[in-house]
Amino acid sequence: MKNTKRILVKSSVGKYAVVCGAGALARLSVEIANIGKFSSVHVVTSRSVWSAVGKFVSRGLGSARAVRLHTFKDGETEKNLKNVEGIARSLVKAGADRNAVVIAVGGGVVGDVAGFAAATYLRGVALVHVPTTLVAQTDSAIGGKTGVNLPDGKNLVGAFYPPRMVVVDTNVLKTLPQREFCGGLAEVIKYGVIADAKLFAFLEKNVEKLLARDPLALGHVITRSVEIKAKVVGKDERESGLREILNFGHTFAHALESATGYRKYQHGEAVAWGMMAAALFGHEIQITPAADASRIISLIRRMGKLPAWPNVAAKRLIELMGSDKKTRNGKLRFVLTPGIGKAATFDAGEREKLELILRVTPKVAEADALVWRD
């Protein structure tokens, strides 16, 4: 299609394409045929997602091939090993063999759970992602991370399993509830903070257009986000160094999600809070300039009102951060920005300053005016 862009991602098993553009799903059957011949096609999704976008996927796949549908509930609390087993058993009943292809249709939870099921079913079958949320289209569907949560923390069981292809159709975002869409903008803001000052400035200038889902503005920021993620994971697929910068705000976010039983926040909302906390913490330990911290918080606030910061003790949140993947030898590490467009990982340093930031973040983020000191 005229406005469709193909962005290549390097992985341990070769390159795969992210096909990105409005109407990209119309060519789904052609795109799948281009990556191989499969004995059967299995769509893994949730009933709510399928009711919203199933017609687009079905049209794209066409009627020439029988498609088996496998569904599960896709709330964050459903991101567990039980559902991985359920999908695997459903695949067995449907006769899926090693030449089958699994198409994960949905947001981050569907992609992570279905991806982990594909990675482990018969020791691995082909996987195609069709992300339907802004978070998934710009972040979670790209890079090969799959996994589920444990009661002890987020994403503690999983695998690096690159998909054979990702199809990003921006048209399906029209079906997304406004709350989910606004939360998804947090991941887009993240890319501006960590890697592209021009993207951040574009977001500042066009946030109202994005909130109104202007096709041109939305297409630009999604494509640019995919390009940034593709470049980062192509250099560091297994998160041994550079890829850590993609976790800006996420150490705080995962603690907030865990502390509230994965029921209070959508992932993007937790990331929004986490990025504000990371901006404040970076400023407190003299990494992030005051002007940049102010810009980050101001832009996030323009996304809309977030669910309130939880009534959880700072020490409890720090305890939950101990299970973060970036922790080394019991020492907490955070991705922080020395300036918009750049990011790196830093040791937490003094716990007292971290506790202070956890106490003041909700007050500063909700204040009518921000007063900064350098």
pLDDT in tens, 145-171: 999 998 888 888 999 999 999 999 999
**Are 138 and 216 members of one domain?**
no
Question: Is the model's pLDDT at 372 over the cut of 60?
Answer: no
Split at pLDDT 50, 70, 90, the class of 61 is very high
pLDDT in tens, 283-327: 999 999 999 999 999 999 999 899 999 999 999 999 999 876 666
The C-alpha atoms of residue 123 and residue 310 are separated, in whole angstroms, by: 40
Catalytic residue among 79, 267, 295, 333: 267
- pLDDT given for residue 370 in this prediction: 52
- pLDDT given for residue 154 in this prediction: 83
**Are 171 and 31 members of one domain?**
yes
What is the percent of the chain with per-residue pLDDT over 90, rounded to a whole number?
A: 82
Angle at 148 between CA 16 and CA 86, to 5 degrees: 95
- pLDDT given for residue 325 in this prediction: 64
Check if 239 is active-site: yes
Split at pLDDT 50, 70, 90, the class of 1 is low
Tell whether 14 is covered by a domain.
yes
Check if 229 is active-site: yes
- Check the CA dihedral 306-322-108-224 and report its sign: positive
- pLDDT given for residue 357 in this prediction: 95
Tell whether 370 is covered by a domain.
no
Catalytic residue among 239, 301, 316, 355: 239
Check if 59 is active-site: no
- pLDDT given for residue 125 in this prediction: 98
Check if 145 is active-site: yes
Check if 352 is active-site: no
- pLDDT given for residue 219 in this prediction: 95
The C-alpha atoms of residue 180 and residue 164 are separated, in whole angstroms, by: 27
Last residue of some domain: 140, 175, 210? 175
**Are 133 and 190 members of one domain?**
no
Domain count, the chain: 2
pTM, to two decimals: 0.90
**Are 170 and 185 members of one domain?**
no
Residues 332-342: what's their mean pLDDT? 96
Domain of 113, CATH number, reads: 3.40.50.1970
Last residue of some domain: 175, 198, 228? 175
- pLDDT given for residue 13 in this prediction: 86
**Max intra-chain CA distance, the chain:** 64
The C-alpha atoms of residue 17 and residue 7 are separated, in whole angstroms, by: 6
The C-alpha atoms of residue 365 and residue 362 are separated, in whole angstroms, by: 5
Check if 237 is active-site: no
The C-alpha atoms of residue 105 and residue 133 are separated, in whole angstroms, by: 10
Question: Is the model's pLDDT at 371 over the cut of 90?
Answer: no
Mean pLDDT of the chain: 92
Residues 185, 212: contact at Cβ < 8 Å?
no
Check if 82 is active-site: no
Catalytic residue among 2, 37, 123, 263: 123
- pLDDT given for residue 329 in this prediction: 63
**Are 323 and 186 members of one domain?**
yes
Catalytic residue among 83, 149, 155, 247: 247
C-alpha dist (Å) from residue 336 to 138, 149, 190: 20, 25, 11
Looking at 1-5, 9-13, 202-206, 344-348, which range is the least confident one?
A: 1-5
Residues 30, 59: contact at Cβ < 8 Å?
no
**Are 156 and 185 members of one domain?**
no
Tell whether 372 is covered by a domain.
no
Last residue of some domain: 122, 148, 175? 175
The C-alpha atoms of residue 288 and residue 271 are separated, in whole angstroms, by: 18
Reference 275, options 155, 191, 373, 154; nearest CA is 191
Reference 301, options 220, 373, 228, 362; nearest CA is 362
Reference 339, options 195, 125, 228; nearest CA is 195
- pLDDT given for residue 245 in this prediction: 94
**Are 183 and 168 members of one domain?**
no
pLDDT in tens, 253-267: 999 999 999 899 999
Check if 257 is active-site: no
Q: Give the structural domain span for 311.
A: 178-365
Tell whether 371 is covered by a domain.
no
Task: Round the CA-based radius of gyration of the chain to a whole number and report it.
Answer: 20
Domain of 341, CATH number, reads: 1.20.1090.10
Residues 55-65: what's their mean pLDDT? 84
pLDDT in tens, 191-230: 999 999 999 999 999 999 999 999 999 999 999 999 999 9
